[in-house]
Amino acid sequence: MRSIMCPNCAAPLELEDTQTHVTCPFCSVTSELKKVDDLVEHYMLPVAYDVDQIRTELVGDILKSPGTPDDLHKSLNLKKVDLKFYPYYIVTAHLRTEYKGNGEYATFSHRYKSGYRNIDIHLKPEQGVFDDEREFIIWGAKEIINDLINFEISTRGKRYFQALEADKVKAKVVASVLDTEQAKVQGIASIREIHKGLMYKELAQIQEVKDKPEIKGIYLLHIPFYFLEFEVAGKLYEATMDAATGRTVITKIPREKSYWALIGMMSAFFGIIGIAGIYFTVTASQGASFFGLGINFVGVFAAITGVVFTIRTLLLGLRSKYRETRRKKR
């Protein structure tokens, strides 16, 4: 058995390898399967973690953050669990770009002490070629969920999509609103944008560009995610988990009151150091002279240290979410 998308309505269709025709149960259109390469293959990642296992993974990730309750493995209660498969297109695009333009170089004259009085910028003709192939992950759902769009997904362990497998775990399958051509266009646009950035690293002016894009491969992949609502110490929190790998997409972090008290004390301590440093800097009658002003450099150091550590402590303390590594910008 394998799965493809209906060429007419994009619904998932399951068929035997020996089939020559398939009729879509949703739109009733019968398609001939002579040109199998023209049909987008449809895959899924299996739900590898049940609710108890995903709860264990969530607790482990939350405990990586400071100030969380020690008994979290007992006190965390799941209140709501939703399991959904979201669509991604995996597009492999190849692009050869030939470019011409002007680069820049500098000439220096009238040397003075450790530098030059005059620096002149000149243009010179340059040309080159970028030729590479990249894989792009393209969000296919109508709903915009930035945490899932930016999540570093895995395609390892994919299998042909089967609706019965999703039904068995009572998961909702979110349909893709993108068709194949739209996904291809996005893939080509993405690799062109990368080449454009590379050209501007080489050139100050782009005069001529010739490129030849090609789609090397494309398939639709549905990935399962848990959307959890959980309670700790009477407060509700939310988390999103990858049901295929057990990784935490994002979660809010429950923290104890003693943690907030410690953060407040540390912020106040560093704040006092900063204020004291500012006071001694302004009122100092001794110290090094700087442009005719009496400045206590110990006070300056204390002021800067106090301010920096106060801000740093507050930023770390107020961080309320934990997330896995986000997808790298290409």
State whether 182 and 301 are in the same domain.
Answer: no
**Surface-to-core class of residue 270, CB atoms within 10 Å of its CB (0-12 exposed, 13-18 middle, 19+ buried):** buried
Query: Which has more pLDDT, 304 or 46?
Result: 46
pLDDT in tens, 17-38: 666 667 777 776 666 565 444 5
Q: Lowest-confidence range among 35-44, 90-99, 105-114, 278-287?
A: 278-287
171 and 291 fall within a common domain: no
Indicate whether 105 and 245 sit together in one domain: yes
Same structural domain, 171 and 273: no
What average pLDDT does this structure show over 272-285?
62
Q: How confident is the model at residue 266 (pLDDT cuts 50, 70, 90)?
A: low
Question: Rounded to an integer, what is the distance from CA 136 to the centroid of its chain?
Answer: 13
Q: Integer distance in angstroms from the first to the last C-alpha of the chain?
A: 35
Mean pLDDT for the stretch of residues 136-149: 94
Domain stops at, among 228, 255, 282: 255
More confident residue, 179 or 243: 243
- State what percent of residues in the chain have pLDDT above 90: 49
Instruction: Report if residue 326 sits inside a domain.
Output: no
Number of domains in the chain: 3
Confidence of residue 290 (pLDDT cuts 50, 70, 90): very low
Name the residue range of residue 314's domain: 259-321
Residues 32 and 44 in one domain: no
Give the mean pLDDT of 29-49: 74
Task: Please say which residue of 255, 274, 293 terminates a domain.
Answer: 255
- b/e per residue 172-200 (b: at least 16 CB within 10 A): ebbebebbbeebbbbbbebbbebbeeebe
- 330 belongs to a structural domain: no
Q: Is the pLDDT of residue 293 over 90?
A: no
122/295: higher pLDDT: 122
Residue 139 lies in a domain: yes
Residue whose C-alpha is closest to residue 75's, from 234, 226, 229, 237 = 234
Same domain, 136 and 76: yes
Claim to verify: residue 245 and residue 196 sit in the same structural domain = yes
pLDDT in tens, 150-181: 999 999 999 988 888 999 999 999 989 998 89
